[in-house]
Amino acid sequence: MCLYCVCSMHRTSITSEAPRFILKVVSGSYLSSLQLRTAGMSGVLLSRQLKMEPSENLSVGVDPDATPTPVALDTAVLLLGAGVTAVTHPLLYVKLLIQVGHEPLPPTVGTTMFGRRVLYLPGFFSYAQHIVKVDGKRGLFRGFSPRFITSAISTMVRSNVKQQVELLAKRDDLQTSLKKVVKETTHEMIIQCLSRVATHPFHVMSVRCMAQFVGREVKYSGMISCITNIFKEEGVAGFYVGLIPHMLGEVLFLWCCNLLSHLINTYAVDDSFSQASAVRSYTKFVMGIAVSILTYPFMLVADLMAVNNCGLAAGLPPRSPIFKSWLHCWSHLSHKGQLYRGSSFFSRWVPVTSLPSIEN
């Protein structure tokens, strides 16, 4: 995986330890920004495979007379999205607990490759083993049901939107024009925002179910209890806490990724280069990694706002202050230098001088 980093958004200056910062951020932030896009992209690839021309299908051993129905295609996309969601859920569960600042395991003292003394915090595997020890293997899938619904809706919407954008692209003769990219991105942004509005309540439920691990609560034990408690205590607005930063992050990701990919493919990749088409096919993927670093703080703030002041220990003092708004949350994290908290799964460390509080 290529490691691109937009370090200008980070509060600290770029030092000799920048390569470690890149590894630290990319391992988690890219998954966070693309956790729902992955299933959608996989669905698009699957739909392309199923819609291949007969001559192409012969090369992969598919019956040329077999034409997939829309229902069969949608079912296949949904199943693929469900598989991706199930595989990535433990990763995102651990990331969420790290985001809310839950550190149940003690760190170990070590040194970086530059000789700096640091405290290494437990990585994903150690954290996952702790969850299994406390809740069993099923505990790794706490909050999976609402997230599955979120993923299913998002996967279908993104797959259909991608197909519509491709149809619009075929009608446009200016295949490389900036105007075309802006038009497609605007169309995709509108649908993506509507999709986020539809799925955000389930995201809030999933986050709160997972955050219960911190205080061992059972307040949000199922879909019905989640809906009942949120509506009773916070009203309809409770289902949309953290919506604004989440939507801003996704919109920023979409525009930056599409525009940067277009500019690079148009002006940086020379047509005379023999591998130009191959390079262009990977440009958006690489830009996704880079831009996800820029947008990660938005996702972090959105998740923290979903938990803040909802009756769970993870969102109440002393573990977390009560935030008046998402801007207050952002300001607090920025002041503490923690806008990228939870962005890494495998290489987590802090300076010895800032020893984190370890919970019993």
Beta pairing, strands 117-121 & 108-111: antiparallel
Q: Residue 55: what pLDDT?
A: 44
Q: Which of 137-141, 166-170, 185-189, 273-277 has the lowest mean pLDDT?
A: 166-170
The whole-model pTM stands at 0.77
Q: Letter for the amino acid at 188?
A: E
* DSSP-assigned letter for residue 15: -
Q: Which of 104-113, 165-174, 215-224, 323-332 has the lowest mean pLDDT?
A: 165-174
CA distance 302 to 297: 8
Beta pairing, strands 108-111 & 348-351: unpaired
Give yes or no for residue 94 having a pLDDT over 90. Answer: yes
**Taking all residues of the chain, what is their mean pLDDT, rounded to a whole number?**
78
For residue 124 the two structure tokens come to 């994903």
Between the alpha carbon of residue 171 and those of residues 165, 168, 191, 192, 258, the distances in Å are: 10, 5, 20, 22, 19
Give yes or no for residue 61 having a pLDDT over 60. Answer: no
Q: Residue 275: what pLDDT?
A: 72
Residue listed under structure tokens 């949608």: 74
Q: Which of 116-125, 186-195, 264-273, 328-337 has the lowest mean pLDDT?
A: 264-273
Between the alpha carbon of residue 23 and those of residues 99, 120, 304, the distances in Å are: 17, 15, 23
CA distance 99 to 215: 15
Contact 7, 37 (CB under 8 A): no
Q: Residue 165: what pLDDT?
A: 64
Q: Which residue has the higher pLDDT, 301 or 18?
A: 301
Give yes or no for residue 249 having a pLDDT over 50. Answer: yes
Q: How confident is the model at residue 70 (pLDDT cuts 50, 70, 90)?
A: low
Q: Residue 349: what pLDDT?
A: 79
For residue 145 the two structure tokens come to 């049901």
Average pLDDT on 333-344 reads: 92
Q: Residue 267: what pLDDT?
A: 81
